[in-house]
Amino acid sequence: MHALARKRYHKAAPLILVLTLLALLTGVGAVITSQSAEATTASSSDIEEGQKLFTSNCATCHGIDAQGQDGVAPSLVGVGAAAVDFQVGTGRMPMQASGAQAPAKEVVFTEEQIAQLAAYVASLGTGPSVPTAEQVDPELGDAAKGMELFRTNCAMCHGSVGGGGALTQGKFAPSLMETTPTHIFEAMLTGPQSMPVFNNANITEESKRDIIAYLVAQRDGSPGGLSFGSIGPVAEAFWAWIVGIGLLIASTIWIGARSS
Amino acid sequence: MSLENTTEPGAEQEFQDPGVPFHRPRKADVDPKAADKAERQTAAIFGLSIVGTIVALVGYFGMDMGESVTSIRTFNAVLGLGIALAMLGIGIGAIHWAKTLMRDHEMVEERHEMRSSDEAREGAIQNLKDGVEDSGLAGPKRRTLLKGSMITALAIAPLAFLVPQIASMGGDWNVSKFRHTMWAKGVRLTKDPDGTPIKAADVTIGSAFHVIPDGLNELEHGKIEEKAKAVVLLVRLNPEDLNVQEGREDWSFDGIVAYSKICTHVGCPVALYEQQTHHLLCPCHQSTFDVANGAKVVFGPAKRPLPQLPIEVDDEGYIVAKSDFHEPVGPSFWDRLMGDDSTDDEETSH
């Protein structure tokens, strides 16, 4: 398990590195402290490439100018690069089918294409930018403080350790056990789908990093043993009633049965 | 049951005692080889128990529990599995032994007579009679003073523990404290848990703030009780999406609304806010409130909308309460609406 956790780190590291590199190259990370995330100054060729990708992959729903269509897809003006990096980087967009919500799935685009799409959407209006590697580094966060904030702001939907949970009418708060720190940060900043926005005035950038540190600290699992997905009493009771009581009944039958 | 089995009218006994079922000998009873096999099986199960004990001991002394979650879990798992094997091995072995090798005779144990003997019955009655006569409560020489004082003593003795119990509920009889919270005109809405005030400009569309009243963190005592009543969810909707309720036109600010986070069903914290549907879900019993329409109930067992906290913005741009809630927060209680001059008329008529 520890080896796995370490591996996961290694997996995320190149992603963060690439994102950082791209962010530096495109100047996205130039302004990192301001809470209102300035418009990015990406290179014009990136924006151009991004527009092409957008027209061929996203415009069907979001409209040719990314203005959105009523009842189909929201306007993307002002959602910023962070929203694109989250939605496309976790595979939620492009959406496969309309439904209760767009689930995370296999990522369609390369890192470079995602950055280009993000640059294009960011050029449409001011919005939050992709965080730097330092902003999301769990090593720099305070997990204990993060727990307090997570409990107040996030645990009601995502569960006490980020195992996820059900919402209404087929919607759900996904598990955060596999989500990269960058995507966790972006989700808080942009409020994707049912999730409310937690801007930097609500949860400061340092606090967001604390929350990431808390979530990453949960990934080694529970020292007590099986956590049943950390989704609370339903899963635990399912085991106690079905598996536990089932075993008790089976052994009662065995004790009472005559030997052959 | 077929016709032939019905008993003749007037038959003395309707059902025959069926006796013990047909005795089928077990393999181990008739085949010495099977008996030896069962013995070996039992010994093997006890052997597993011994292995379990050794595993647990070796784990305890030989393994380093370490500091990391993984090593602690491995350590616990080895100890737990070892002990489980040790205990289960003894239990399963003993039952297997009993089932295959121990004596397999059906035995009948008759019930003893339910009725006591005549002498015992007469003796008991005599004892009671003697007791009544000795006490002087009945019979020719009655001691009425004793009778009266004893009954009085018995009757009032429970007061010794009932009165302190009821008295200690003291505060709980006073339901008026449920009617009011820390919110009052001009009290700033601050972030839970650190208590920093919130500027209206910071509450962007789609935002959700978990809110406590300013000054809550400075309370010397009763903090948790006050928090339990006063917690609020502050959200901003696109003003177009917000249907302002009649009589509450000035309770919100440019799409920013504040609602009590205490469910009107049984008081769970309602905080699962879906920013696209503006639905607020209670995790306990799935009551769902529509924040865009005065937090009215759209699903679930709750009966009333969540109470709204009237808000405005002060000179410095911070969000402040205009007043306390206009109705008691949380679930119903007796006399909830007594002396309440707020907007409950409409609700009670439902």
The ipTM is 0.74
Asked if A1's CB is within 8 angstroms of B207's CB, the reply is no
Q: Over 80: is that where the pLDDT of B9 sits?
A: no
Domain regions of chain B by residue span: 27-100, 177-334
- Which pLDDT band, with edges at 50, 70 and 90, does B143 fall under? confident
| Domain ranges for chain A | 2-220
Tell me the pTM: 0.72
Please provide residue B296's backbone torsions phi and psi, each rounded to the nearest 5 degrees.
Answer: -70, 155
pLDDT band at B344 (very low <50, low <70, confident <90, very high): very low
Architecture of the domain made up of B177-334 = 3-layer Sandwich (2.102)
B77, B95, B99 member nearest A225 (Cβ): B77
Please give the pLDDT value at position B179: 85
Check if A196 contacts B (Cβ < 8 Å): yes
Contacts of A195 in chain B (CB under 8 A): 275
Residue pairs between chains A and B whose CB atoms are closer than 8 Å: 96
* Chain B touched by A160 (CB under 8 Å): no
At A165 the three-state DSSP class reads strand
Between CA B273 and CA A198 the distance in angstroms is 12
Which of A218-232, B181-195, B203-217, B287-301 comes out lowest in average pLDDT?
A218-232
- Tens-place pLDDT, residues B41-51: 999 999 999 99
Nearest CA in chain A to B271: A156
* Cβ-Cβ contacts under 8 Å, B271 against chain A: 156
**Which of A152, A168, A255 is closest, CB to CB, to B274?**
A168
Residue ranges for chain A with pLDDT beneath 70: 1-42
In CATH, which of 3.90.480.20, 1.20.140.150, 1.10.760.10, 3.40.50.300 is domain A2-220?
A: 1.10.760.10
Specify the range with the lowest mean pLDDT, choosing from A29-38, B55-64, B334-343.
A29-38
Q: How far apart are CA A13 and CA A124, in angstroms?
A: 30
pLDDT given at position A19? 58
B216-232 pLDDT tens trace: 999 988 899 899 999 99
Interatomic CA distance for residues A156 and B270, integer angstroms: 9
pLDDT score at B341: 44
Contact status, residue B34 vs residue B27, Cβ threshold 8 Å: yes
Report pLDDT digits (tens) over A16-71.
Answer: 666 555 555 555 444 443 333 444 456 788 898 999 999 999 998 999 888 888 88
The answer to whether B269 touches B287, Cβ cutoff 8 Å, is no
Q: With contact defined as beta carbons under 8 Å apart, do A225 and A7 qualify? A: no
State the Cα–Cα distance between residues B280 and B282, nearest whole angstrom.
7
Task: Kindly report which listed range (B75-84, B98-107, B194-203) carries the lowest average pLDDT score.
Answer: B98-107
Please check the confidence at residue B348 and state whether its pLDDT lies above 60: no
- Share above pLDDT 90 across residues of chain B, in percent, rounded to a whole number: 62
Question: Which of A148, A171, A220 minimises the CB distance to B274?
Answer: A171
> How close, in Å, is residue A123 to chain B by CA atoms?
21
pLDDT reported for residue B264:
94
The reported pLDDT for the residue numbered A38 is 40
